[in-house]
Amino acid sequence: MTLRVYNTMARAKQEFVPREEGRVSIYTCGPTVYNHIHIGNARTFLSFDVIRRYLEYRGFDVKFVQNVTDVDDKIINRANEEGRRASEVAAEYTEAFIAAMRALGVEDPTVRPKATETIPEMIALIERLISGGHAYESGGDVYFSVRSFPGYGKLSGRDVDEMENQARIEPDSRKRDPLDFALWKSAKPGEPHWPSPWGEGRPGWHIECSAMSEMEFGLPFDIHGGGSDLIFPHHENEIAQSEAATGVTFANYWLHGGMLQVDSEKMSKSLGNFLLLKDVLEAYPVPVIRLLMLQTHYRSSLDYSTDRLDEAATAYERISNMVRLARWAQSRPPAVEGAPEVERQALERARTSTQERFAAEMDDDFNTAGALGAVFDLVRQANGFMSEHEAALSAADLAVLGTAADLVTELVGVLGVPLDTSAQGPALPAGVVTLAVELAGYDGTDAAEAAEALLTLRASARAERDWTRADAVRDGLAALGVTVADTATGARVTIGGV
Ligand code: AMP
Ligand code: ZN
């Protein structure tokens, strides 16, 4: 099976062929560390985390590089406002970024280069551009000469002449052409600065990604990622810098994530409509946040709302419940006679086709929404099977259910969505413990053990024909949403009808 990815450069889905068999090089632009990241930023980072995880699941050896922009106007402005050093502000938010990414279950990149630690490589690249006639020094600044690179505009589909017509002429500009962009900026008083052949200064934003990707991978590398808001000018400028300097293609595939929106408007710091990832992490479990994001294809825009998060919470509960109930059923003695064979076979077929559908959807430009749809279908079918035959599941039924639960766990795990797969415990409400303490003299804290104590009490009450006590157990559990089912091999508790 081939993996196809939508390449922004080609404006089409293409078969993905890595430059080196079995290995994938991915570069994605990281954050500018002047504040905590919002959940829009988190969506893009999460999308590339899942792309990476799937490539690894498919057996590729992935090298994943993501930069941290730790010197920038926004950082300097924030430092000035707070009377701090820019490096302090950057260090604080770099740490916060790494912590929030880890909390969201995003794997650390293989390499996380910082702009301030890549200055010599950036200077060397700028020197190559100057000597090749693609950049020029002007009053301590260095600019890239856009007209010197014929391919400018090819990623974003813009025409240089049209851009020139619409360009705003900045007064006192040191640029020769309004389209040119800064590679190096001379330092203003109080700003962080580094020595360079053009005097003390600091790099422009775009140059770091060109320098770092070449340094880490050599060109061309396989996949360049980022949010769609970076296509122009940032990625266009990266291409111009790297291809003008080296004469070779910069990246083979350009993958861009859609924007997370609130009320149909892009979430952004400047619009003030943002929610910080760290605050959302406090309010919702990680698997729920990830599910919400992954239920939409990474290239589509995603409308964020707490209603949708609540829906994702319900979906998560449905998946985890299925796995828990299957584990619970497996922990019980099997019935001699189980479900009709045709039904068991139907469930087994559903399991096999789910694995195939999941892979086909993910191979189709990482369609996590479709892949999750396949998982949900299996969950629905397994839940139906369990609720239909809850009273009598044979060893063969339990084996099929067990493999279905294994598969569901594995597939959502590929998407970085952990399930609580413990056989008992969280599936049963904590009230079961209280009830067992009251009725059965249970003195532990484990809900599954407590349920067992209650069932034992009920069995002995029934043996003694003490219906009042037996019913007290059944009714007490029913009040907690837990049903007692009498099966051929003894009583079991079930939750939510399954
Ligand atoms: P920045 O720190 O602004 O450079 O953004 C870091 C990453 O977040 C980039 O890949 C952006 O494309 C991405 N990003 C910014 N805003 C959003 C949004 N509302 N939805 C999705 N991604 C975003
Ligand atoms: Zn970049």
Looking at the CA of 269, which ligand is closest? 1
Atom of ligand 1 nearest to the CA of 225: 10
Which pLDDT does position 495 carry in this prediction? 63
Q: Are 494 and 399 in contact (CB under 8 A)?
A: no
Which pLDDT does position 493 carry in this prediction? 78
DSSP state letter for 481: T
For domain 4-134+148-161+208-283, which CATH number applies: 3.40.250.10, 3.40.605.10, 3.40.50.620, 3.40.50.720?
A: 3.40.50.620
Q: Where are the domains of the chain?
A: 4-134+148-161+208-283, 318-414, 431-495
Tell me which of 89, 208, 229, 267 to substitute to probe ligand 1's pocket, judged by most ligand atoms within 8 Å of the beta carbon: 229
Tell me which of 35, 39, 41 to substitute to probe ligand 1's pocket, judged by most ligand atoms within 8 Å of the beta carbon: 41
Neighbours of 137 (CB within 10 A): 18
Q: Kindly list the protein residues whose Cβ atom lies closer than 6 A to any atom of ligand 1.
A: 29, 31-32, 40-41, 43-44, 226-227, 229-230, 257, 259-260, 266-268
Which residues of the chain register pLDDT less than 50?
A: 423-426, 497-498
Neighbours of 352 (CB within 10 A): 12
Distance (Å, whole) CA 396 – CA 373? 26
Q: What stretch of H or E contains 162?
A: helix 160-166
Distance 333 CA to ligand 2 centre (A): 57
Residue 414 forms beta bridges with which residues? none
Distance 176 CA to ligand 1 centre (A): 31
Distance (Å, whole) CA 307 – CA 494? 29
Looking at the CA of 209, which ligand is closest? 2
Q: What stretch of H or E contains 86?
A: helix 86-103
Looking at the CA of 235, which ligand is closest? 2
Atom of ligand 1 nearest to the CA of 37: 2
Distance 56 CA to ligand 2 centre (A): 23
Q: Whose CA is nearest to atom 13 of ligand 1?
A: 41
Question: How far, CA to CA in Å, does 11 sit from each of 7, 53, 157, 254, 390?
Answer: 6, 24, 10, 10, 51
Distance 68 CA to ligand 2 centre (A): 9
Looking at the CA of 32, which ligand is closest? 1
Sequential DSSP letters for 343-410:
HHHHHHHHHHHHHHHHHHHHHBT--HHHHHHHHHHHHHHHHHHHHHSTT--BHHHHHHHHHHHHHHHH
Tokens 């006639």 belong to 133
In 104-159, where does DSSP find H-type helix? Answer: 119-131
Atom of ligand 1 nearest to the CA of 261: 19
Handedness of CA 445, 448, 451, 453 (dihedral sign): negative
Could you report the per-residue pLDDT of 8-48, keeping only the tens digit for each?
999 999 999 999 999 999 999 999 999 999 999 999 999 99
Q: What is the dihedral of CA 376, 380, 381, 385, to 10 degrees?
A: 150
Q: Are 43 and 262 in contact (CB under 8 A)?
A: no
Distance (Å, whole) CA 288 – CA 309? 7
Which pLDDT does position 488 carry in this prediction? 59
Enumerate residues with CB within 5 Å of ligand 2 (an ion).
29, 209
Atom of ligand 1 nearest to the CA of 266: 19
Distance (Å, whole) CA 122 – CA 125? 5
Distance (Å, whole) CA 389 – CA 231? 54
Nearest to 264 by CA among 273, 255, 256, 272: 273
Which pLDDT does position 425 carry in this prediction? 42
Nearest to 270 by CA among 63, 61, 34: 34
Looking at the CA of 257, which ligand is closest? 1
Could you report the per-residue pLDDT of 464-491, keeping only the tens digit for each?
999 999 999 999 998 877 888 776 566 7
Chain-centre distance of CA 127, in angstroms?
Answer: 38
Q: Whose CA is nearest to atom 7 of ligand 1?
A: 41
Q: Whose CA is nearest to atom 9 of ligand 1?
A: 227
Distance 261 CA to ligand 1 centre (A): 11
For the chain, counts of helices (H) and of strands (E): 16, 15
Distance (Å, whole) CA 89 – CA 84? 7
Atom of ligand 1 nearest to the CA of 234: 4
Neighbours of 368 (CB within 10 A): 26
Distance 356 CA to ligand 1 centre (A): 33
Atom of ligand 1 nearest to the CA of 28: 10
